[in-house]
Amino acid sequence: MKQKRKSLRKDTRGFTGLEAAIVLTAFIVVAAVFSYMVLGAGFFSTEKAKAVVHAGVEQTTSACELAGDVIGLSNGESGLENVTLYLQLTAGQSPIDLDTMGIAYTDKYVYNGSLVHDEDATDTDHNSIDVSTNGTWDFAFVEDKLRDRGDDNNMLDANEKVQVYIWLPADAGNGNGFVEANEWFQIEVKPEAGGAITIRKTVPGDIDAVMPLY
C-alpha cells in the first residue's frame, strides 16, 4: 500500500491571527504616541497663549491708581510750582518698586520724559520742602499698619499709600518754572511694570498757596 508523503510546505494557519495581533498592537502604539504628541502640543500652545494674554493684561492694566485729590502748591502769586498726589495699588496687582518708577511732565511749552528722583527732597517728617533743583520728585509712605510692623522697604504693597511730591521743571510754563492760571499741564506716573497713569489738570484762575486741582 502506497504511503502518503508528508507535505514539505509548512502550515501557516496558526500564525495568521498572531500577525494580525502584532499589526493591530503596532497601530495602537503608534496612535497612542501620536495622540500624546498632539495633546502635548495642544497643552503647550494653550499655556503659552495663556501666558501671553496674562502678560498683555499686566502690561496694559495700570498697576497703581490715584488715592485722593491732586494738590497744587504755589508761592501764592505767580502760578503752580509743585504738585502733590497719593498713589495706591490697583486690585490684584503686584507690589511696585518705587525706586524704579518714573515720572514725566508735559505742558503746552515743554515735555520732560524723566524727572529726577531726589531722595533729599523731603525732610525726616515726610513734609515737602523747597529745593533749589527744579524737575525733581520724591515720595514718602503714609503711616499705616504695615509700616508699624516693620515693612520699611520702598515697595508699594497692598493696603499702603504713598505721597508723591513733584517739582515742576525749570522750563515749565514757557520757561517760568511754573504754570500760570487757567493753563493745563500733564503728569505721567510710569511704574516699571503695568500701564502708566496720566494725570491732566488745569490750574485754577485764582492762585492760592494750596489748591485742589480738577
Q: pLDDT tens for residues 66-102?
A: 998 999 998 767 899 999 999 999 877 788 899 999 9
Which of these, 152, 186, 192, lies nearest to 169 by C-alpha position? 186
| Average pLDDT of the segment spanning 3-22 | 59
DSSP β-bridge partners for residue 86 = 163
Per-residue pLDDT band for 40 (boundaries 50, 70, 90) equals confident
Chain segment 134-155, per-residue pLDDT in tens: 899 999 888 765 455 456 688 8
Give all strands (DSSP E) within 36-142, no chain letters.
Answer: 64-66, 70-74, 80-89, 96-97, 102-107, 111-112, 116-117, 136-141
Is the pLDDT assigned to residue 4 strictly greater than 80?
Answer: no
User: CA 66, CA 68: separation in Å to the nearest integer?
Assistant: 6
- Check residue 24 and give its pLDDT: 76
For residues 198 and 12, what is the distance between their CA atoms, to the nearest angstrom?
85
Q: Tell me, what's the pLDDT at 125?
A: 46
Give pLDDT, residue 124: 43
* Whether residue 106 has pLDDT greater than 90: yes
Mean pLDDT, residues 104-108: 95
Q: What is the pLDDT of residue 142?
A: 86
* Between residues 102 and 12, the one the model is more confident about: 102
pLDDT at 42 over 50: yes
Query: What is the distance between the alpha carbons of residues 122 and 84, in angstroms, rounded to a whole number?
Result: 12
Per-residue pLDDT at 127 exceeds 60: no
Mean pLDDT, to the nearest integer, of 1-15? 54
pLDDT above 90 as % of the chain? 37
Percent of the chain with pLDDT over 70: 71
Domain ranges (residues) in the chain? 15-60, 64-213
| Mean pLDDT, residues 25-31 | 80
